[in-house]
Amino acid sequence: QEIKVKWYDKITLGGYMQARNNDLYKTNPNMENPQGDRTYGGYSGFSLRRMRLKVSGQVHKRVYFYFQADFASDGKNLGQLRDAYFDYFIDEAGAFKLRGGQSKIPFGFENLQSSQNRIGLDRNDPLNSAVKDERDLNIGIHWAPVEKRALLKEIVNKGFKGTGDYGMAYIMMYNGQKANTLIPNVDKLNHIAFRFTYPIKLPSGQFIEAAVQGYTGKYVTTEVNDAVKLRDDNGNTTDIDAVNQQFRDQRLAVSFLYYPQPFGVQLEYNFGQGPEYKYDPTNVPSPHSIGVESLHGGYIQLMYMKRIKQQILTPFTRFMYYDGGKKFEQDARSYEVKELEIGAEWQINKAIEFTANYTIANRRYEDSFKPINREKGQLIRLQLQINY
Amino acid sequence: QEIKVKWYDKITLGGYMQARNNDLYKTNPNMENPQGDRTYGGYSGFSLRRMRLKVSGQVHKRVYFYFQADFASDGKNLGQLRDAYFDYFIDEAGAFKLRGGQSKIPFGFENLQSSQNRIGLDRNDPLNSAVKDERDLNIGIHWAPVEKRALLKEIVNKGFKGTGDYGMAYIMMYNGQKANTLIPNVDKLNHIAFRFTYPIKLPSGQFIEAAVQGYTGKYVTTEVNDAVKLRDDNGNTTDIDAVNQQFRDQRLAVSFLYYPQPFGVQLEYNFGQGPEYKYDPTNVPSPHSIGVESLHGGYIQLMYMKRIKQQILTPFTRFMYYDGGKKFEQDARSYEVKELEIGAEWQINKAIEFTANYTIANRRYEDSFKPINREKGQLIRLQLQINY
Amino acid sequence: QEIKVKWYDKITLGGYMQARNNDLYKTNPNMENPQGDRTYGGYSGFSLRRMRLKVSGQVHKRVYFYFQADFASDGKNLGQLRDAYFDYFIDEAGAFKLRGGQSKIPFGFENLQSSQNRIGLDRNDPLNSAVKDERDLNIGIHWAPVEKRALLKEIVNKGFKGTGDYGMAYIMMYNGQKANTLIPNVDKLNHIAFRFTYPIKLPSGQFIEAAVQGYTGKYVTTEVNDAVKLRDDNGNTTDIDAVNQQFRDQRLAVSFLYYPQPFGVQLEYNFGQGPEYKYDPTNVPSPHSIGVESLHGGYIQLMYMKRIKQQILTPFTRFMYYDGGKKFEQDARSYEVKELEIGAEWQINKAIEFTANYTIANRRYEDSFKPINREKGQLIRLQLQINY
pLDDT class of B1 with cuts at 50, 70, 90: very low
Chains that touch A (3 or more CB pairs under 8 A): B, C
Query: Is it the case that residue A171 has pLDDT exceeding 90?
Result: yes
**Alpha carbon of B240: minimum distance to chain A alpha carbons (Å):** 36
Bridge partners of C104, per DSSP, are C135
Rounded to an integer, the average pLDDT of B309-325 is 97
Nearest CB to A81 within list B29, B39, B77 = B77
**Alpha carbon of A149: minimum distance to chain C alpha carbons (Å):** 23
Q: What is the pLDDT of residue B2?
A: 54
Q: Is residue B152 part of a domain?
A: yes
Of the candidates C225, C220, C236, C238, the residue with the CA atom closest to the CA atom of residue C368: C225
Cβ contacts (< 8 Å) between B45 and chain A: which residues? Answer: 137, 175, 177, 183, 190
Q: Is residue A1 part of a domain?
A: no
CA separation, residue C252 to residues A72, C198, C295 (Å): 31, 17, 11
Q: Is residue C184 part of a domain?
A: yes
**Alpha carbon of A385: minimum distance to chain C alpha carbons (Å):** 9
Query: Which residue in A has a C-alpha nearest to residue B387's C-alpha?
Result: A59
Nearest CB to B81 within list C42, C45, C51 = C51
Q: What is the 3-state secondary structure (H, E, C) of A96-150?
A: EEEEEEEEECCCCHHHHCCCCCCCCCCCCHHHHCCCHHHEEEEEEEEECCHHHHH
Bridge partners of C294, per DSSP, are C273
Nearest CB to A388 within list C62, C65, C139 = C65
Look at C182 and A43 and tell me if their CB atoms are within 8 Å.
Answer: yes
A interface test, pick of C58, C83, C102, C178 with most A CB neighbours within 10 Å: C102
Q: Is residue C5 part of a domain?
A: no
Query: Is it the case that residue A188 has pLDDT exceeding 80?
Result: no
Query: Is it the case that residue A2 has pLDDT exceeding 80?
Result: no
Q: What is the pLDDT of residue C385?
A: 98
What is the DSSP track for B219-233? Answer: EE--S--TT-EEE-T
What are B's interface residues with C at a Cβ cutoff of 8 A? 6-8, 10-11, 13, 55, 57, 59-60, 62-63, 65, 67, 69, 73-74, 78-81, 84, 86, 88, 100-102, 137-139, 174-175, 177, 179-186, 190
Residue C268: Cβ-neighbour burial (10 angstroms; 0-12, 13-18, 19+)? buried
**Alpha carbon of C319: minimum distance to chain B alpha carbons (Å):** 27
Greater confidence (A364 vs A284) lies with A364
Nearest CB to A77 within list C13, C80, C190 = C80
Q: What is the pLDDT of residue B343?
A: 98
How many domains does the structure of chain B reveal? 1
Taking only the tens place, the pLDDT of each residue in B144-180 is 999 999 999 999 999 899 999 999 999 999 999 999 9
Look at C388 and B84 and tell me if their CB atoms are within 8 Å.
Answer: no
Q: Which distant-in-sequence residues (6+ apart) come within 8 Å of C52 by Cβ?
A: C15, C16, C17, C68, C69, C70, C71, C82, C116
Query: Is it the case that residue A313 has pLDDT exceeding 60?
Result: yes
Q: Is residue B61 part of a domain?
A: yes
Question: Could you report the predicted ipTM of this complex, rounded to two decimals?
Answer: 0.96
Of the candidates C69, A97, A102, A70, the residue with the CA atom closest to the CA atom of residue B50: A102
What are A's interface residues with B at a Cβ cutoff of 8 A? 6-8, 10-11, 13, 55, 57, 59-60, 62-63, 65, 67, 69, 73-74, 78-81, 84, 86, 88, 100-102, 137-139, 174-175, 177, 179-186, 190
- Separation of CA C128 from chain center: 4
| CATH number of the domain to which A308 belongs | 2.40.160.10
Contact B119, B316 (CB under 8 A): yes
Chains that touch C (3 or more CB pairs under 8 A): A, B
Look at C138 and A387 and tell me if their CB atoms are within 8 Å.
Answer: no
- Separation of CA B156 from chain center: 18
CA separation, residue A89 to residues A150, B17, C388 (Å): 15, 18, 36
Q: Is residue C13 part of a domain?
A: no
Nearest CB to A185 within list B15, B43, B386 = B43
Percent of chain C with pLDDT over 90: 95
CA separation, residue C384 to residues A16, A286, B69, B101, C50 (Å): 33, 61, 20, 9, 11
Q: Which residues of chain C are under the pLDDT cut of 70? A: 1-3
Longest Cα separation, chain A: 77
Q: What range defines the domain where residue A359 resides?
A: 10-387
Q: What is the pLDDT of residue C300?
A: 98
Task: Report the C-alpha gap between A294 and A316 in whole angstroms.
Answer: 30
**Alpha carbon of A73: minimum distance to chain C alpha carbons (Å):** 9
Q: What is the pLDDT of residue B184?
A: 82
A interface test, pick of C59, C139, C173 with most A CB neighbours within 10 Å: C59
Cβ contacts (< 8 Å) between B12 and chain A: which residues? Answer: 7
Q: Is residue A5 part of a domain?
A: no
pLDDT class of B371 with cuts at 50, 70, 90: very high
Residue B282: Cβ-neighbour burial (10 angstroms; 0-12, 13-18, 19+)? exposed
Contact C276, C216 (CB under 8 A): no
B interface test, pick of A1, A5, A8 with most B CB neighbours within 10 Å: A8
Q: Is residue A4 part of a domain?
A: no
Look at A48 and C101 and tell me if their CB atoms are within 8 Å.
Answer: yes
Cβ contacts (< 8 Å) between A84 and chain B: which residues? Answer: 17, 19, 48, 51, 71-72
Contact B57, B12 (CB under 8 A): yes
Task: Report the C-alpha gap between A79 and B69 in whole angstroms.
Answer: 10
Q: What is the pLDDT of residue C1?
A: 45
Q: What is the pLDDT of residue A1?
A: 46
pLDDT class of A285 with cuts at 50, 70, 90: confident
Nearest CB to B81 within list C38, C42, C71 = C71
- Separation of CA A227 from chain center: 30
Q: What is the mean pLDDT of chain A?
A: 96
Q: What is the pLDDT of residue C188?
A: 75
Task: Report the C-alpha gap between A117 and A134 in whole angstroms.
Answer: 15
